[in-house]
Structure 1
Amino acid sequence: MSGRIDGAEKLALVKLLLDTNPRPSTLNARDQSGATALLRLITYYEGSSSSQHAYFMPLVNLLLLHGADRSLYDNKNQTVLHKLASSATYNEEIPFHLLDILIPFVDINQADVHGWTALHSMARNLRAVNNKGNTPLHEVMTGRLIRRENEDGSLEWPTLSEKIQAHDEIISTLQDAGASMDQPNLAGKTPAQLLVEKRAKWEKGGE
């Protein structure tokens, strides 16, 4: 075995350890920085360009299956969303399904010791563009809001007024951090134009 284990080897080792049926308290034990195994794994998310990408979600799912607590945070008060937002390759799109299994269990308003929420971390490079010329503010206009989890475990979409309120809060935060509503993407669309289109779609019942 080489000095650095690959994704397949890492997955096999984690399976081997979890097959011993550790107690949830063991699985959610914290290291000296306060990080759990799940927090540590999310910290080193390397995006779709990584050779280990194919094994990332199986590792996440394996930890969750055995009782990893998504709501925990480290000594800096950073949640799994903070870690994901601050990963080294955040210039790549974060998988929607990964956010879908994390967000319902995390306090998205939680600030770390520096006063940053996960949204602040995600908005650090507001002028960066992807291959379509989209800034983070463009992506906010074209994305969709996550379903919320009820006390009985069921999921439901937010109402129109709730979507508009949440959308406005996200846009306001990004603008306060320096994002521009007037920067066009490669298709010539500005976030302001996309906002009008998104709201019109919502009014018609679409996402």
Structure 2
Amino acid sequence: MGSVDQRGVAWFTAVYEEHYDAVRRYVLRRLRDPSTSEELAQEVFVITWRRRTRAPEHCLPWLYGIARRVLANDRRAVRARPEAMALPSDDVLRDRREDPARGAQHVDVHRAMDALSETDQEVLRLVGWEGLDLGDAARVLGCARGTARVRLFRARRRLAKSLENPDSERENAVSAPCPAAVEPLEESHA
């Protein structure tokens, strides 16, 4: 094995160790199926290895972009299979046991998120759950920072409205709670 291959292995090992849990949580929050989430997170890193020469220095948003495409491919494949019942996340189950009021709050946020479009859900998740700034979220979404800022502002507004009106019609079946995304957009993110 040459020195280039050794550097590649060392880079990949470091990226895997540093970001595997974040990528797995990213996938799990969107699927709420632990076993499938593990498989898809592994697939993300298989693709990462193949594309290692194109990886940016700050690679977590890049990994989220790969994960987003892997999830999209999985969703297309799932459409051909019978519908599976979505299970609540471990956080929701733990919250229901430890604090019923907090568990109910998660259920309310799940319902509010379900009422949003997939585009709104994704920008809220990237900023609220994954903790990305607008620039990194824009890279994952494949759009300009200004476009991501507008999407986030509008998605937060729609989420707040959906939380106020819990009987709104659901548009999507995939969701995850995003409590941090309800806060108003700060100018420091501009």
Same fold per superposition (TM over 0.5): no
TM-score for the superposition, normalised by structure 1: 0.29
Q: Larger Cα Rg: Structure 1 or Structure 2? A: 1
TM-score under structure 2 normalisation? 0.31
Structure number with the higher helix fraction is 2
